[in-house]
Each structure stands twice: as structure tokens, then as C-alpha cells.
Amino acid sequence: MSRQQVYNGNELISLAALDAGCRFYAGYPITPSSEIMEVMSKRMPKVGGGFIQMEDEIASIGAAIGAAWTGVKSMTASSGPGISLKAEHIGFACITETPLVIVNVMRGGPSTGFPTATSQSDLMQARWGTHGDHPVIALVPGTATEMYYETVRAFNLAEQYRTPVMILADEMLGHLNTMLDLPDPATLDLVERKLADPKPGEKYRPFAMDQGDVPPMGAYFRGYRFHLTGLNSNEYGYPTIDPAMIQAQQERMMNKVANHTEEMLKNDAFNLEKADILTVAVGSTGSAAKQASKDMTADGNDKLGVFRPITLWPFPEKELDALIASGRYKGLFVPEANLGQLVLEVERINRGRLPIQTLQKVNGFPVTPDDIVKRVKEVF
């Protein structure tokens, strides 16, 4: 049966989550992400899942974390102000190693900011938004199609590595209407979490140190009895002040990303061989940069190449470093819908080897191909 019709980006995130096996959603309405909650409220009961509108953002992510520990795939969604409120519980999800998908449809800030306008001002919030050392996986779709498939991938990564995964969309993509024919869910390659199987009489260890970087996960109400806490804990989940155990658990938790970065990375590249200017951009701005490159080529100027990280965190450091070191480019160009966040990571990796020019737009309107072409002509 064909699923071809016009969808907006937020609807695609919701449908992808359901197709990926999400069976619990808790949220609180906030623009520009509210359509995600609306779709979930209608469709989740039809697939036998649970939907609840909580009293606030904090309770929403708390409910989603709790649901994940009953054995179901779980999701919550919000925008910048709501993600700020969820920050403490994001840390709790990290330290308890809870598979969870968190969607941030970005809008202008800080504080209440510009509720219905587009922005990319939460890139660093996704990386450093909760305190302490913690693993981070964040995906930044740049097209309507990617809004669907990157949501599926977010669930796969969350389940495979037993960790929260954030999707960084933006208002422009969230409300972009596109004709798509979605796949049959049965054809999707889905990852299911690795479940614990303790032997008779053996006590389940949710944070076992001898079963690799990702210990098998148990589930409440399914025969497991165990403890979870936001404190540093031992293998059984109980608080500990043993320095060696704390060190080992923290390192194992971080190694889930550090040791598997190559499996998590995904990038899009365009016109890198012919170009002499390397553009680094993400999300809808990255797609605008790709179109700008095509427009310049059509005008006889083939100098703009585009490197678009789809996995933002962990950042594709080796890939970008190799491009910078290749000697092909005379400069770097970083357009973004904020006042300079992505460029900080580019500067760190560049280490002064190439001059960097930027385009920073925060007036609530998306960065367009024309914006990029104009700025490139001004500075190169």
C-alpha cells in the first residue's frame, strides 16, 4: 500500500518513530515541535502504545525515561526552552544509560526567544547541555527525507548503545511540506536492544563491567529487580563511593561513543574535488549550501564544495581534518543560523591552517542559497 502524500517534517519524525517501534511518547506542547505530539496523540494508541501529555517538560522526559526501563522504545520532543528544562533529566538518562530519543525542533533564543521562527542555536546545547562527563549522540537532518530516516537511525543508535540520542531539527524543516512515499515499515533495518539473560539465582547487573561497553539491559515488570540512581553506582545500580568503580564506570560509559564513533558518523559531501572553498554546514543551512554550490556552478563558478555532517556529535573530526590537510582549499566557509557555534568546532580542527569566513543569521529566517552565494562573493 502506497504511503505517498504530502508530509511536513514534524509529521515525518512522528511516523518514523512509530515505524521504528516507538511505543511510548510523553511530551508537552511547544512550538515549533507541537505537530510531533499531535501526530503521536492520534496514532500511538492505534499501534498499542502509550501517549501522555504531561504537566511540564521535566515530567515529560521523566515519563519517557521510566517507560524505556519497562522495555519499550521511548521518545519525547520539544524546542530550545523545553530542552533547557529537560537538561537535568538528560543527565539522568546518560548516567543510567537509558535508550531514549529526544527531538529538539530548534527555534530562536535564549529564553522564550522567537517561538515560531527557525534557528540553529542549540548545537552546543546538545553537546554540553547537562553537567558532567557524558556520552552524546546528536543527529542533524538536512532534508525532509532525512527527517524520516535519521529518526529511524536515532532509535537504532539509542538501542544499540543504550544511550539518549538527540535529533536536532529546525523550524524550517519541521514545517517544510514535501511529497514523499514512505517505505513499508517491514522493510526497515531496525535494531532491538540487547536484553539481559541472568542465570537462575544470578542477580541482574544493569551496569556490568565484564560485558563490553554496552551491558545488556533489563526491564521492570518483566522479572528483573534492580536499582537505578543518578548517583555514581556500582554494577548493581546502587550508589558507591569506591574511586576505582566510579572511574571504571565513567570511562566505560564514555567509551560507548569513543570506541564506536566510526559506526555512528554519517556525512554528506558535494563538489569537494573541484572546489577551492570548503563549506561546512549542517541541517537546512547545509542543504542551502549544496544548492548554492549548484547555482554557482551553473553560473560558471565551480569553487564551492560542501561538507555536511549529519551526525553532529560525535563530530566527524578525522574526516574534516583530512579535507583541510588535503591542500585543495584556499579557505573555509561556515554559514549557520546562529552567531557562531559550528564555527567553534571547525576552528578547533582547523588549527589556523586555512582562513575561515562565516555567515551568521539570527533574524528568524532561514539561511538561503542566495545568502550563501552573496556572502561567498563578498569574502573570497
> Domain-by-domain residue ranges, the chain?
4-187, 269-379
- What is the mean pLDDT, run by run of 10 residues, along the chain of 380 residues? 92 98 97 97 97 97 97 97 97 97 96 92 96 96 98 98 97 95 96 86 90 92 87 96 97 95 97 96 97 95 96 98 97 98 98 98 97 96
- Predicted confidence at residue 202, as pLDDT, reads 80
**Nearest residue to 206 (alpha-carbon basis) of 101, 133, 97:** 97
Residue type, 311: T
4-187 and 269-379 have identical folds: yes
The answer to whether the beta carbons of residues 175 and 182 sit under 8 Å apart is no
- Predicted confidence at residue 2, as pLDDT, reads 81
Distance CA 126, CA 121 (A): 10
Other Cβ atoms less than 10 A from the Cβ of 99: the count is 26
Condensed to tens digits (0 to 9), the pLDDT of residues 165-186 reads 999 999 999 999 999 999 999 9
- Predicted confidence at residue 200, as pLDDT, reads 73
Distance CA 24, CA 298 (A): 48
The answer to whether the beta carbons of residues 68 and 164 sit under 8 Å apart is no
Condensed to tens digits (0 to 9), the pLDDT of residues 277-300 reads 999 999 999 999 999 999 999 999
The answer to whether the beta carbons of residues 169 and 311 sit under 8 Å apart is no
**Nearest residue to 21 (alpha-carbon basis) of 72, 69, 66, 60:** 72
Mapped onto helix, strand or coil, the DSSP state of residue 14 is: helix
Q: Which three cell numbers stand for residue 262?
A: 566510526
- Predicted confidence at residue 310, as pLDDT, reads 98
- Predicted confidence at residue 138, as pLDDT, reads 98
Distance CA 267, CA 317 (A): 11
- Predicted confidence at residue 98, as pLDDT, reads 98
Q: Which CATH class is domain 269-379?
A: alpha beta
Q: Which three cell numbers stand for residue 14?
A: 512522528
CA angle 309, 110, 54 (to 5 degrees): 90
CATH of 4-187, one of 3.20.20.20, 3.40.50.300, 3.40.50.2300, 3.40.50.970: 3.40.50.970
The answer to whether the beta carbons of residues 334 and 342 sit under 8 Å apart is yes
Distance CA 78, CA 36 (A): 9
Q: What is the DSSP letter of 91?
A: H
C-alpha distance across the termini of the chain, in Å: 51
- Predicted confidence at residue 43, as pLDDT, reads 97
- Predicted confidence at residue 201, as pLDDT, reads 75
Residue with cell 571504571: 248
Residue 232, classified by CB atoms within 10 Å of its CB into exposed (0-12), middle (13-18) or buried (19+), is middle
